[in-house]
Structure 1
């Protein structure tokens, strides 16, 4: 029986550590080179047609400009808030402005969506 305890103890310790870290929330994005980027380093954008606390980018728009989605149970903190989308899912917003990535950005640091159609802009913390 001791052999089983030796195998279970590390698993139990790992599970307890994971459980204790669940309560530690990280911001959904970070600032890099003066702009906001997601956890993968992809540039985030704002859309001029959005109103504070509401996304106007749905359907085909959201396919081209994927919203920065919030996981179930995510909590607003500081400048970060949550926006309920038309389909009921939750999206992150910075200072009330929903944020998105752009499908044409292929690698971290790309900003191919900046100025697109005159309504898409790189999300910058100091801009708000």
Structure 2
């Protein structure tokens, strides 16, 4: 059963999110509903992003980029929860040899600027040579910008 809650950011914006499964681990891709629609989330319900510079399932975000946009590591068996589709899940080998989770052939990343579940502060940012976007549960990019709502906080 998914629980719904509203999150309010320090800047006054907020977003509605479904709590991910209680058992979401480091290698789990789950789903949550936010102002952008139903998107992919990872550990702790944090939003997952794709990088437009990545092509053919190959990660190009390394060094300083990976410090700001940490790759979602593939540790052990990667699983799906919520409405995420297991058939779209995969892995890729990063330039440093580590395994990274992919979804619909997009390497997945977290964003250091997101502080709590439901944050989508990385949406549409142009950093490290290309734009960053969230993915919907079908593995397609959502390119619209987040719209803050007037809901209360946690």
Q: TM class by shorter-chain length?
A: 0.7 to 0.9
Question: How many residue pairs get matched?
Answer: 103
- Structure 2 residue 86 is the aligned partner of structure 1 residue 74: no
Q: In 1, Cα distance between the equivalents of 2:27 and 2:88?
A: 10
Q: In 2, Cα distance between the equivalents of 1:53 and 1:120?
A: 15
Secondary structure in 1 matching 2:66: helix
Deviation per residue, 1:20-55 (Å, 9 max, x gap):
xxxxxx972111110000031000000000012200
Native 8 Å contact 2:88 2:139 kept in 1: no
- When the two chains are superposed, the root-mean-square deviation of aligned CA atoms in Å is 2.2
Shift of 1:125: 1.9
Q: What TM-score do the two structures reach when normalised by structure 2?
A: 0.61
- Structure 2 residue 103 is the aligned partner of structure 1 residue 94: yes
Select 1:47's aligned residue among 46, 51, 60.
51
Higher helix share: 1
Shift of 1:74: 3.2
Q: What TM-score do the two structures reach when normalised by structure 1?
A: 0.73
Q: Which has the larger radius of gyration?
A: 1
Higher strand share: 2
Secondary structure in 2 matching 1:29: strand
Native 8 Å contact 2:50 2:107 kept in 1: yes
Q: 1:70 to 1:114 in 2, by over 3 A?
A: same
Per the alignment, residue 120 of structure 1 pairs with 132
Shift of 1:75: 6.0
Q: 1:115 to 1:88 in 2, by over 3 A?
A: same
Deviates more, 1:83-92 or 1:116-125: 116-125
Q: Which runs of 5+ in 2 are unaligned?
A: 1-25, 80-85, 141-154
